[in-house]
Amino acid sequence: MTEIILNTQTGKSNIHCGEGAFKEYARKLKGVKNFVVTDTNVFALYKDVIFSAFSGDAGIKILPAGERSKTYGNLISIIGEMARAGITRDCTVIAFGGGVIGDIAGLAACLYMRGLRLVQIPTTLLAQVDSSVGGKTAVDFKKVKNLIGAFYQPDEVIVDPIFLKTLPPREIRCGLGEIIKYGALDGGIYKKLSAAEDIFNLNFLGDITADCIRHKVGVVEKDERETTGLRKTLNLGHTTGHAFELYYKRKSHGEFVLIGMYYELFIAEKKGLVSGEYPSGLKKLIKSVVNVPPYKDIGEAAKLAKLDKKNSTDGKITLIAPVSEGECAEIRLGFEEYLSYLSDCAKSLEK
C-alpha cells in the first residue's frame, strides 16, 4: 500500500492507495456519525458494504447515477437530508462513488455548518486517478459545467483497486483517458504506459494510479487554486475534449479527453512545437483506447470551446497541448485559426 500526503495552505489530505486500503481505513470510520453520499449504481453493488463499513445508523443520500445529478437542486437536497439526519460539526461526510458523487458530496461537506470532515472513497478509475484528489468540488448550473463550486480538501482519500473489478469497459476507457493525460505530463508515467503489455490490466492500473496521484499532488501543492497557471496543465486535452463532449455526447469524459488530446497534438505539430517519434507514440496510446473520429459539423462543436474557463481575457482559445515526454505547452489561438486546425485534423483522419 502507498501512502501519499497532500499539503496545501487550506488543508492536508492523507491518501491511502492500493489493495486493501478500503478494508484498512474504512473500518476506522465505524463508530462515528457518518453521512454517506452515493448513487444508484454504486448502492446496488455495495449496499451491504456501505452499511457494514459505516454502521447501520449512517445517514445516506442516494442520487441517480450520472452527470445529470450534479445539480444545485440535488446539492440542496443533500444538505437538507444532512439536517434531517441530525448531522453536526463532529460528523464525517463520505463520498462513495465516482467523480459526480465526489464533486457534489465534497461541496455539501464544504457548505454544511461551514465545513465538515470529508472522506473520498472513489469507485471509478477516473475518480481514483484524478477527481478525488486535489479539492475541487462543484455542481453544474444554468447549463454551465462546475459553475458553483469551491476548493475543499478531503481529510482522507481511500483509493482501492478492488472497486475496479465491477467497472464496465467504458469506465475503464474513461479512466485511461486521464491516465494517458498524466503520461503526456510526466515522462515516467509515459514510459510505463509505452512499455506495458496490456494497459487494461487491472493490476497495472492499480499500480499506475499511485503515479498519477503523485503527479497531481505535486502540482496542487504548488498551485492549489489555479493562481500561477501550473494547475492549468492538468487540463491537457480538455479544451477541445470538453467542447466535443458537450456537442457530440455518447462517449465518456475520459474518451473525449483522449480525442481532444489527439486533435490538440495535431495543432502542436502544425505549429512546429513537437517532432520526432513522440507524436506517433502518443497517438498509438490514444488509439489503443479510443477510436478518434473525423468529426463532421466541427464548426458548431468548436464554438463551445469559446466557453472554456482557461481561455485568455482577449477571447483567444487556450489549449494545453503535449509537446514532448513530460512536457506541455500553452497555445493561444483566434477562433478561426483554431477551427481551421480542427478541420484539417478531421480531414487527415479520413485518409
Judge whether 89 counts as a catalytic residue: no
> Which residue among 16, 61, 70, 136 is the active-site one?
136
- Minimal CA–CA distance to 301: which of 333, 270, 335? 335
What is the distance between the alpha carbons of residues 216 and 2, in angstroms, rounded to a whole number?
A: 15
Say what the alpha-carbon torsion angle 269, 306, 175, 193 is, to the nearest 10 degrees: 10
The set of cell numbers assigned to 171 is 469506465
Judge whether 235 counts as a catalytic residue: yes
| DSSP helix/strand/coil, 210 | helix
> Which residue among 61, 242, 251, 310 is the active-site one?
242
> Which residue among 19, 24, 221, 226 is the active-site one?
226
The set of cell numbers assigned to 95 is 463520498
What is the distance between the alpha carbons of residues 8 and 67, in angstroms, rounded to a whole number?
A: 28
How many Cβ atoms from other residues are within 10 Å of residue 30's Cβ? 12
Is the Cβ–Cβ distance between 158 and 26 less than 8 Å? yes
> Which residue among 156, 171, 178, 264 is the active-site one?
178
Judge whether 332 counts as a catalytic residue: no
> Which residue among 41, 224, 235, 325 is the active-site one?
235
- Residue 209, H or E segment: helix 202-222
Residues in a beta bridge with 3: 16
> Which residue among 214, 232, 253, 310 is the active-site one?
253
Judge whether 114 counts as a catalytic residue: yes
> Which residue among 114, 142, 143, 250 is the active-site one?
114
> Which residue among 181, 238, 251, 310 is the active-site one?
238
What is the distance between the alpha carbons of residues 331 and 124, in angstroms, rounded to a whole number?
A: 31
- Residue 118, H or E segment: strand 117-122
Judge whether 216 counts as a catalytic residue: yes
> Which residue among 61, 173, 216, 310 is the active-site one?
216
> Which residue among 61, 181, 231, 251 is the active-site one?
231
φ and ψ of 126, to 5 deg? -60, -45
Judge whether 238 counts as a catalytic residue: yes
Judge whether 201 counts as a catalytic residue: no
* Contacts by 168-174, CB closer than 8 A, 24 or more apart: 170/252, 171/98, 171/124, 171/125, 171/126, 171/252, 172/125, 172/200, 172/205, 173/252, 173/254, 173/255, 173/289, 173/290, 174/124, 174/125, 174/126, 174/252, 174/253, 174/254, 174/255
Judge whether 197 counts as a catalytic residue: no
Judge whether 16 counts as a catalytic residue: no
CA distances to 39, 62, 82, 265 from 66, rounded to whole Å, are: 8, 12, 21, 30
- Minimal CA–CA distance to 60: which of 87, 22, 90? 87
Positions marked active-site: 114, 136, 178, 216, 226, 231, 235, 238, 242, 253
